[in-house]
Structure formats: structure tokens, C-alpha cells
């Protein structure tokens, strides 16, 4: 069952996403210019991300998929078949089926702010798992979400793969983990569980290569943000004046992606004037990496107690099961 509801995307009279414009203008007014990473994912950005997951240097998707494929029997043991799986995000066509096959849950509830994408992937999954009730919910999962009545009596398993938690600074990540507790009913009935992918700290060269592949797919993904700003927000940014940069920040244990000005230049976005000096950057993404302890500390701060942790064969990526 998938009903069309009111879109959560707030468009102005010209069809421009107000939140996108507000985030971009606010970010460009800062001393260190920045645009939140969530705005990468327009149609072209989502296509480029898919392509990133297939480049040789970008190991996280392959490593996590390996874990999900290899540990199904243990997931089934620890999680059981009685829960509703609540996925934070629309679900990937590869990882989600691995989990659903392994535990054969009572229901599947994907949550996503983008209704079109959500309904598409929910329909594909419902086809692949004919006996499985699927209840897509169009919602911003950064806040507490009301789940459908059909799953109110079931215990929940939250699923948050991809190390997407790593795109948030710790304060935001803790807020999200606490919202997940509330969404999954931590204070009602049986304690919810959470299965979460968290990428690991490793050799700097391996990390930097994963975010600056030789084919230039990640560079294109980064620069696509500028093309989106130009198209949707009347931007006049010359994409050729910006170069992709991916650098490991060792103090904060994260890869930072920036777009760096190769010369001084000025530009406009939505009629507002901005300028960059040669060498200045627009910060476009953080991708935090974790150790066993830093992952556990973050989860505990968000109200989740780690139960079990799995790694891929090469020990590049972790999947952690936690309980509220
Ligand atoms: C899917 C958001 C986790 O941070 O590794 C890939 C996005 N950015 N290459 C990541 C991404 C550049 C990815 N996440």
C-alpha cells in the first residue's frame, strides 16, 4: 500500500526548494563556505554516487555488502523473525535484500524524505519479497517519525547502512541516534535494535584515494553540486574555477571534501553576490571514520548499547548491532 500524500519538499512560486536555497545561501555567507552534503543527491548526484560505489578505490559499499552477505545466520539468531525492519533511507537494491533474506522479518518500513525515490524502491522490494508487508513512509528521519499502525504491535529493528552516520558531526549524529530510539519505540514494549554500518579509520592514503578516485567519478560527484546550484538557484559559478579536494583530517578523524578555487572569482546565487580567493574552498562533505571504541562511544551517547560487531575479511568496515 503506497498512497500519495502531501510532498514534504517546500517549493516557492518558482518551484525552487526553499530549504536548498536557505542552506546554500547561509553556507556561502560563512567565513569557511560550506554546503550540507545532503544536497549532493539530485538525480545526477544519485547516479554519480551509484557509479562511485563501483570504482576500484571506493571500498565501503563492497566491504559492507560482503558483511551483510556473510553474516546472515548470525543476524537471524540475534534479531529473530518477529521484528519490523525500519530502514532509515530508501534502501539499496543490494544491501536491503541481503538483510531481508537473512532474517525474514514481519514487515519492512523504509523512511525517506524523497517520496518518488521511496515509492520506486519500495515497489521493487515488494516485488522481490511477495509475502512481505511493505509500508513506505515519506518523512524526515532526522526527527521522530510516527510509524504506520500496522507495525505498532511489532518490535523494531532499525537499519542504517552505508556509514551515512559518518556524514554528520558528532552532535548531529547523537541527535539522530536519539531520534531513532524515539521513532523505534525505545520507551514502549520490547527494546528496539539497530543494525548500523560504520566505516573504519585506516591508512590515510587508502582513505584519500577512496574519495579521489583516478577515474574522477568522485570529483564529478562533488562538482555536480555546483551545477545543481547554478541550475536550481540561478547560480553563476564557473565549475572550471573549482577543483575537487579530499583530505584526511586526523584530529577529527574524517575525510573532508572541498571545492577549491583555482583563481580569484566572483559569482551570484539567487541574486546574492559572493567571491572566492584563489585557494579558498567550499566545504561540501565530512565522512567520519571510526575505531571500535569511537563507534561504541558514539552509539552509547545516542542511547544504544552495542551487542555485536562484524568486519569484512580485510577489516575495512564495521557493521554493529546495538540495543536501546
Ligand atoms: C554514502 C554518504 C556514506 O561518505 O562515503 C562517497 C558518500 N561521498 N564518496 C561517503 C560519498 C564521496 C558516502 N556516503
pLDDT tens series, the chain, 324 aa: 445 555 677 777 666 688 899 999 999 999 999 999 999 998 899 899 999 999 999 999 999 999 999 999 999 999 999 999 999 998 778 999 999 999 999 999 999 988 888 898 899 999 999 999 999 999 989 999 999 999 999 999 999 999 999 999 999 999 999 999 999 999 998 999 999 999 999 999 999 999 999 999 999 999 999 999 999 999 999 999 999 999 999 999 999 999 999 999 999 999 999 999 999 999 999 999 999 999 999 999 999 999 999 999 999 999 999 999
> Which residue is closest in CA terms to ligand 1's atom 14?
164
pTM of the model: 0.94
Q: Is the ipTM of this complex over 0.95?
A: yes
Q: Establish whether residue 245 lines the binding site of ligand 1, counting it when its CB lies within 6 angstroms of any ligand atom.
A: no
Backbone angles phi, psi at 271, to 5 degrees: 80, -5
pLDDT recorded at residue 1: 45
What is the spatial order of strands in the sheet that 281-288 belongs to? 33-34, 281-288, 254-261, 242-249
Cβ count near 305 (within 10 Å) = 12
| Cβ of 60 less than 6 Å from ligand 1 | yes
Probe ligand 1: pick from 38, 167, 206, 225, max atoms within 8 Å of CB?
A: 167
217-242 in b/e burial notation, b at 16+ Cβ within 10 A?
bbbbbbbbbbbbbbebbebebeeebb
Amino acid at each position: 500500500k503506497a498512497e500519495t500524500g502531501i510532498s514534504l519538499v517546500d517549493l516557492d512560486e518558482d518551484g525552487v526548494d526553499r530549504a536548498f536555497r536557505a542552506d546554500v545561501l547561509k553556507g556561502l555567507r560563512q567565513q569557511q563556505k560550506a554546503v550540507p552534503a545532503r544536497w549532493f543527491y539530485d538525480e545526477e548526484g544519485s547516479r554519480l554516487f551509484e557509479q562511485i560505489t563501483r570504482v576500484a578505490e571506493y571500498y565501503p559499499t563492497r566491504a559492507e555488502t560482503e558483511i551483510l552477505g556473510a553474516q546472515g545466520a548470525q543476524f537471524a539468531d540475534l534479531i529473530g523473525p518477529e521484528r519490523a525492519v525500519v530502514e532509515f533511507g530508501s534502501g539499496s537494491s543490494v544491501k536491503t535484500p541481503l538483510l531481508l533474506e537473512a532474517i525474514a522479518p514481519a514487515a519492512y518500513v523504509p523512511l525517506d524524505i524523497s517520496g518518488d525515490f521511496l515509492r520506486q524502491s519500495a515497489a521493487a522490494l515488494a516485488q522481490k519479497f511477495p509475502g512481505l508487508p511493505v509500508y513506505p513512509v515519506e518523512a524526515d528521519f532526522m526527527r521522530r517519525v510516527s510509524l504506520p499502525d500496522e507495525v505498532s504491535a511489532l518490535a523494531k529493528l532499525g537499519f542504517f547502512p552505508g556509514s551515512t552516520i559518518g556524514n554528520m558531526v558528532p552532535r548531529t549524529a547523537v541527535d539522530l541516534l536519539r531520534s531513532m530510539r524515539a521513532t523505534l519505540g525505545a520507551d514502549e514494549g520490547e527494546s528496539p535494535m539497530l543494525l548500523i554500518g560504520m566505516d573504519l579509520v585506516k591508512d590515510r592514503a587508502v582513505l584519500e584515494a577512496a574519495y579521489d578516485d583516478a577515474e574522477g567519478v568522485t570529483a564529478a560527484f562533488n562538482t555536480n553540486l555546483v551545477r545543481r546550484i547554478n541550475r536550481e538557484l540561478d547560480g553563476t559559478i564557473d565549475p572550471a574555477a573549482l577543483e575537487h579536494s579530499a583530505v584526511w583530517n586526523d584530529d577529527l578523524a574524517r575525510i573532508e571534501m572541498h571545492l577549491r578555487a583555482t583563481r580569484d572569482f566572483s559569482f551570484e546565487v539567487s541574486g546574492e553576490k559572493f567571491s572566492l580567493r584563489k585557494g579558498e574552498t567550499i566545504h561540501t562533505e565530512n565522512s567520519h571514520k571510526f575505531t571500535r571504541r569511537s563507534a561504541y562511544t558514539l552509539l552509547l551517547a545516542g542511547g544504544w548499547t552495542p551487542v555485536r560487531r562484524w568486519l569484512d575479511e580485510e577489516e575495512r568496515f564495521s557493521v554493529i548491532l546495538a540495543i536501546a
